């Protein structure tokens, strides 16, 4: 790991830890964020003790699919059952 990357990671960890002081934290800190299903699979396979630190946010493709089937379908007058999404 490069020193600049390590420094940014340390600063982020410190910031998240300080923000959690005195407030109810959504989970253990530091929180690992990644919208990649591959990254989550890696955590499950190789570093399962870090799973509680992983963010639960969906991938951008998954969020777009949900918005399309709810918000956009309602605005455009489209039946959500006829809205299909494909992925990689």
Cα separation, 23 vs 63, whole angstroms: 28
In sequence order, which residues have a C-beta less than 8 Å from that of residue 43 and are 6 or more positions away?
Answer: 32, 50, 51, 54
Backbone torsions φ then ψ of 68, nearest 5 degrees? -65, -40
Cα separation, 75 vs 71, whole angstroms: 6
Cα separation, 6 vs 26, whole angstroms: 25
Stated pTM of the model: 0.46
Give residue-wise pLDDT tens across range 10-59: 655 655 555 555 555 566 777 777 767 788 889 899 999 988 888 777 77
């Amino acid at each position: 790991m490069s020193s600049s990357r390590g420094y940014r990671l340390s600063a982020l960890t410190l910031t998240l830890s300080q923000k959690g002081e005195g407030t109810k934290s959504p989970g253990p800190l530091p929180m690992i964020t990644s919208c990649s299903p591959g990254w989550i699979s890696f955590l499950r396979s190789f570093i399962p003790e870090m799973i509680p630190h992983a963010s639960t946010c969906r991938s951008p493709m998954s969020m777009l699919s949900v918005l399309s089937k709810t918000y956009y379908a309602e605005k455009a007058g489209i039946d959500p059952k006829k809205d299909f999404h494909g992925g990689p």
